Amino acid sequence: MSESQPDLPAPQTLAVGSGDELRTIAFRHSTATDAVPPGLVWLGGFKSDMDGSKALALARYAEQHGLGFTRFDYSGHGLSGGSFLDGTISRWLDEAEAVVRATSGAGDQRILVGSSMGGWLALLLNRRLRQSGGPQISGLVLIAPAVDMTADLMWQEMSEAGRAELLNTGRLEKPSDYSDDPYILTLRLIEDGKHHLFGSAIIETGCPVHILQGGLDTDVPPTHALKLASQLPLDDVALSLIPDGDHRLSRPQDLQRLMRSIDTLLEGIAG
């Protein structure tokens, strides 16, 4: 895979919400140079932005293959407006839907590529678009998908003292493995997440699903990915466990696996 920098489109902005909920969402969108669908959509993780290593690798891939590519920052992230502390799964899902609809034309097909929290949002967005009409989702690539993270990976993993602090103050600071600054969990995020939990229910996506999971991931353990795969009996599912992979899966060999997953989806779509 070439390490040259992709030809990055300038950021654009989109207004989402109204009144006190109005926020400006920044996104980058490039159109296909070939007639072969579908385009790629990147959904990043909690506290990440659209110019991370995986997103840039996907931008190179899309450019090399003539594919459209869309990526954006959730409110409170990267170049987008709004406060991170106001962030909820509902808000970030609405923003993802707004960006995808704004950048899609009639008959467009998309492959959603979601990392960590973005994997959960990809599943939620796919379900919403199937129910309400929108661009056809032709495949999902989920990287260490943090499905139901507010319940399973945040609330359940908190100490009793941490839960008490969150309930009493509305927020809890947690150390980050990726920054010197702690990240802040809010009670608003946890409570809102309850409206989007898949639990143990069967999930029907209507498209092929590829899951990439690091065996050394301490943020989203491999058992979480195995549980998700077991909830997708109606779809064509491939689960790749990378024994020495961590949560980020951003090493060159990890990025190669990601691109091979997309290659496989595109080959299946082309028929």
pLDDT for 4 equals 57
DSSP secondary-structure letter at 194? G
pLDDT band at 2 (very low <50, low <70, confident <90, very high): very low
Write down the domain spans for the chain: 12-147+199-270
pLDDT for 1 equals 42
Average pLDDT score, the chain = 94
Across 194-202, average pLDDT: 98
Q: Tens of pLDDT along 223-236?
A: 999 999 999 999 99
Q: 12-147+199-270, superfamily in CATH?
A: Alpha/Beta hydrolase fold, catalytic domain (3.40.50.1820)
pLDDT at 71 over 70: yes
pLDDT band at 181 (very low <50, low <70, confident <90, very high): confident
190 burial level (CB within 10 Å; 0-12, 13-18, 19+): buried
pLDDT for 267 equals 93
Across 78-84, average pLDDT: 96
Of the given ranges (36-40, 79-83, 90-94, 200-204), which has the lowest mean pLDDT?
36-40
pTM score of the predicted model: 0.95
pLDDT at 108 over 60: yes
Q: Do residues 85 and 184 lie in contact, with contact meaning Cβ atoms separated by under 8 Å?
A: yes
Distance CA 55, CA 43 (A): 9
Distance CA 232, CA 267 (A): 21
Across 73-100, average pLDDT: 97
Q: Which pair of tokens denotes residue 182?
A: 């702690």
pLDDT for 271 equals 74
pLDDT for 36 equals 65
pLDDT at 134 over 60: yes
pLDDT for 63 equals 93
